[in-house]
Amino acid sequence: MYGRSSMWLTAVMAVTALASAGGQVKKDSMGSGMGMASGKPMGAMDRDAAEYTIVYKSMWMPASHPFEYPSASLVSGPHFSGIIGAAHNASYAIFKPGAMPTPGLERLSEQGKHSPLDEEITAAVKAGNAASLFASGPLKDFKDSLVVVFRVDPKHPMVSFVAMIAPSPDWFAGAADVSLWENGQWVGSRTIQVYAYDSGGDDGATYKAADVDNNPKKPTTQAMTRHFAPNGTAIPVAMVTITRK
């Protein structure tokens, strides 16, 4: 039901480990293949493209999310599958509450696999609706963070990303349509509280529920069970900072 490892996307990706307070930062960077032309004035480059760093930090902890919190183990302990996302325009969405899950989102949320979601994003790039794809490996030690570098441009000023909450039947963490263009310029940074969602692909109601596929599929919704909203109010499962380089 849950991903034991997430698929590494190797195109132009470099992985490094950086020391940070309280743990380590795991860095995954993936160029968009849309480098800025040399010799342009700084203002022109700012209008053309911008490079950002995502830092993904877990807030999914036993103290904040106590209901049925998974026990620690090497295989099935609490972890995130690794994020996968894209810079894109308004014509593309990795997920949208109220919409049916794509096959890629469903598999990501149920198994933690980046395929075929990576193929869906690649198709959006070819169609002109996305500028770049980025991805990381899993986050298993919550003292660590994940770091991913990506690029946006004026035709693709938004970013969306998802990661499986594992173990789970079909729950994922994600943020959609985060705009990085504001008042005629690229923003310096954004801080986002990331919440849990139910993709709609499975009917399981507990972290380690048996595989019970929905047929037909249900729309994606924000997860409001006691696992993620213990007092009726949703609690973030991750904190993300997006900072311009």
Residue 89 in domain: yes
Separation of alpha carbons 99 and 160, rounded Å? 15
Q: Is 196:180 a contact under the CB 8 Å cutoff?
A: no
Residue 172 in domain: yes
- According to the model, what pLDDT value does residue 63 have? 96
Residue 4 in domain: no
- According to the model, what pLDDT value does residue 31 have? 39
What is the span of the domain harbouring residue 79?
A: 13-32+49-244
Separation of alpha carbons 47 and 37, rounded Å? 12
Q: Is 158:170 a contact under the CB 8 Å cutoff?
A: no
Residue 8 in domain: no
Largest Cα separation within the chain, whole Å, is 58
Residue 40 in domain: no
- According to the model, what pLDDT value does residue 74 have? 62
**Sign (positive/negative) of CA torsion 42, 45, 49, 53?**
negative
Q: What is the CATH number of the domain that holds 184?
A: 2.60.40.2130
Which residues does residue 179 pair with via DSSP β-bridges, in sequence order? 158
Separation of alpha carbons 9 and 139, rounded Å? 16
CB neighbour list of residue 124: distance below 8 Å, 6 or more residues apart: 86, 88, 92, 130
Closest CA to 111 of 2, 185, 231, 196: 2
Separation of alpha carbons 78 and 86, rounded Å? 25
> What tens-digit pLDDT sequence spans the chain (245 residues)?
444 333 333 333 333 333 333 444 454 544 333 333 334 444 444 568 999 999 999 999 999 999 999 998 766 799 999 999 999 999 999 999 999 999 999 999 999 999 999 999 999 999 999 999 999 999 999 999 999 999 999 999 999 999 999 999 999 999 999 999 999 999 999 999 999 999 999 999 999 998 888 888 999 999 999 999 999 999 999 999 999 99
Question: Quick one: which H or E segment has residue 116?
Answer: none
Residue 87 in domain: yes
Residue 83 in domain: yes
Number of domains in the chain: 1
- According to the model, what pLDDT value does residue 213 have? 87
Asked whether the bond before 157 is cis by omega within 30 degrees of 0, the reply is no
